[in-house]
Chain A
Amino acid sequence: MKPTLLIGLGNPLMGDDGVGCAVAERLAHDPRLPDSAEVICGGSDLLRYAAQMEGRSRVLVLDAIQDGAEPGGIFVFADGQPGLDDHQDHAHHLSAVQAIRLLEAIAPIRCTLVGIAISSAAMADRLSPAVEARMPAIVDRVLEEVERWLV
């Protein structure tokens, strides 16, 4: 088992909501990805990957964040994810923040949430031009974060 796991979350049919998945897909094919890191392109239900998360030294969860910041910006929240809303607002799955807090409460899992800023999520099968244009920079920034946790 590789010590670092990256999980990209998002719904690729909801435009920029799928940015976490899109970044994970690009990382999976990026030669710069360290050998010690594994990538999963997930949907929108992080709990599905609970079993794969156990036993890793660090799990990085990539997800869209909507808080008014410029699209493509990166925000990193480690260990407890202070400042993030864990309000239960889903019908049949938990949000990334809820799922991380739940798993950290019952298992020795250490997560870092990497939020990628988006301005809206609407039905579309591709990213918005604004976020697409930032993708190379987003991938670079996420790789820096991966390297940081490898040290």
Chain B
Amino acid sequence: MKTVVIEHLARVEGHGGITVELDGDSVAGVRFDVFEGARLLEPLVRGKRFDEVAPTLSRICAICSVAHSLTSLKATENAFGVQVTPQTELLRELLYLGESIESHALHLFFLAAPDYLNYPSAIALAADNPDAVRLGLRLKKLGNSIQEIIGGRAIHPVNAVVGGFGRAPAVDRLIELRHALEEGLKDSDGGIDLMAALPPADFCRCETVYTALRSPGLDSYYAGDEVVVASNGDRTVVRAADYRTLTNEKPMPHSHAKHSTFGGKPFMVGSLARLTVNPQRLAGRMAAAMERLQLRLPAVNPMDNNKAQAVELIGDIARALEITGQFLRDGVRDEPPVTVQPRAASGTGITEAPRGLLIHSYTYDAGGRITAADVITPTALNAASMELHFRRTAEQCPERTDTAIAKRLEMVARAYDPCISCSVHVVHRR
């Protein structure tokens, strides 16, 4: 018996690690140690007024601040029975697209690409291929610009408020944004070229259950209150309010995150799950990108999550351009937020963060102060699926050295784009 240990999983925040126990060529055990900070957030919001919750929880993560903010608003609005206007829904969708564009660009260009090309980091990649890094930065900046113009500032959006939207974007900023998005579409074609040129990474073949928000229209991230679990051709629908039947959590001794399964099976959330659950999105540029990257659904290789992010990146920019054009054509009205009448109630909000399903669920007292909060992040939902894919990766690695197995395990982990704790990032000396 020998053990492959990746103690501090590179490029994973917090202190996640992978341990695989090998008995000859077979895998005796797999552990993915997750220290999931998001679950410990309840004390930070307990007692806060309903309008203070989203601004606080948007700070869980700098990359996912829009996701946490908008999911929080959905949970609060569901608790109080608030229906926002169609314009607010469209502004929130555009804001969410900005975050996804930024997050996917960051992950694909600065974290995944160096892996595939055997560079230790994006810094080393920049020395040999500065144009690829500049392309990634331009796309990331595009996502930032959307968040700044629509959300009111670069991170932790101030315009997303309970019941509506703070300030409508100015026409000149929307014109500026339309131009940036047109340029971004060309850049995203370059991104697909880069992804298509990467070496194959067929490390793990495994039938996978995919879980994602069912998109009621073209919106991929914000709208919708039903989740679909897609398993081997079957589709099961779970309503947001019933999210606990979906998470069905089991505490694991080696992990702070509880493992989630559905029907006893681990499931994967994220880009690949979104495309699998919502195939109606796969037209036009997205379909062409899928063909170029040879992405087939349902996928049996978790590394395809990187391809799915690239396909979403191009689709997100096209959709953001469409919405911006609609606002310029039809105008954006200054709408005051819907008046909120607090009451003793519970509400759940579900959205698709860049790395998968995100759940916020709150209970309020009659004065509109929070008495209980539950925040379940995509990485926590993915923990059981990651362990399954680590097991298959270790079993299927043709080269039986620790180094070869460890390299593949790390790349599979990163393909999930995981965020293990939100989000300590201090500097360390050598």
Contacts and interface: CB of A to CB of B under 8 A. Distances in A.
Tell whether A pairs with B: yes
Interface of A: 9-14, 17, 42-45, 47-51, 63-67, 83-98, 101-102, 105-106, 113, 115, 118, 121, 123-125
A88 to B, nearest CB: 5
B179 interface: no
Interface hub of B40, B65, B127, B154 (most chain A Cβ within 10 A): B154
Nearest to A45: B62
Contact of A11 (B40, B120, B154, B424): B424
Closest CB pairs A-B (n = 6) = A43-B62, A85-B428, A66-B426, A64-B426, A44-B425, A65-B427
Contacts of A88: 10-11, 111, 120-122
Interface hub of B40, B134, B428 (most chain A Cβ within 10 A): B428
A101 B123 contact: yes
A44 to B, nearest CB: 4
Contacts of A105: 123, 126-127, 130, 133
Given A42-B155, A123-B41, A89 B10 contact: yes
B71 to A, nearest CB: 16
B91 to A, nearest CB: 21
26 contacts: A11-B424, A11-B425, A12-B59, A14-B37, A42-B154, A43-B62, A43-B156, A48-B62, A48-B140, A63-B425, A63-B427, A64-B426, A64-B427, A67-B428, A83-B429, A84-B429, A85-B428, A88-B120, A90-B13, A91-B418, A91-B420, A94-B122, A102-B123, A102-B133, A105-B133, A123-B44
Nearest to A103: B137
A49 to B, nearest CB: 8
A43 to B, nearest CB: 3
Contact of A86 (B12, B123, B134, B425): B123
B144 interface: yes
A37 B143 CA distance: 26
Contact of B427 (A14, A45, A96): A96
A11 B61 CA distance: 8
A26 to B, nearest CB: 18
B245 to A, nearest CB: 28
Chain B interface residue number, banded: 35 or more
A91 B13 contact: yes
A47 B425 contact: no
Contacts of A87: 10, 428
A89 B426 contact: no
A9 B426 CA distance: 9
B154 A92 contact: no
A132 B19 CA distance: 39
Given A45-B62, A66-B427, A13 B44 contact: yes
B417 interface: yes
Given A14-B423, A93-B63, A66 B428 contact: yes
A106 B120 CA distance: 17
Contact of A125 (B44, B121, B126, B140): B44
A91 B419 contact: yes
Interface in B118-161: 120-123, 126-127, 130, 133-134, 137, 140-141, 144, 154-156
Nearest to B154: A48
B333 interface: no
Contact of B430 (A45, A84, A102): A84
B11 A85 contact: no
Contacts of B414: 91
A51 B141 contact: yes
Contact of B140 (A44, A47, A67, A115): A47
Given A11-B425, A84-B429, A92-B106, 17 more contacts: A10-B425, A11-B423, A13-B56, A14-B423, A17-B424, A44-B425, A45-B63, A48-B102, A50-B137, A51-B144, A67-B429, A88-B11, A92-B63, A93-B423, A95-B425, A102-B126, A106-B133
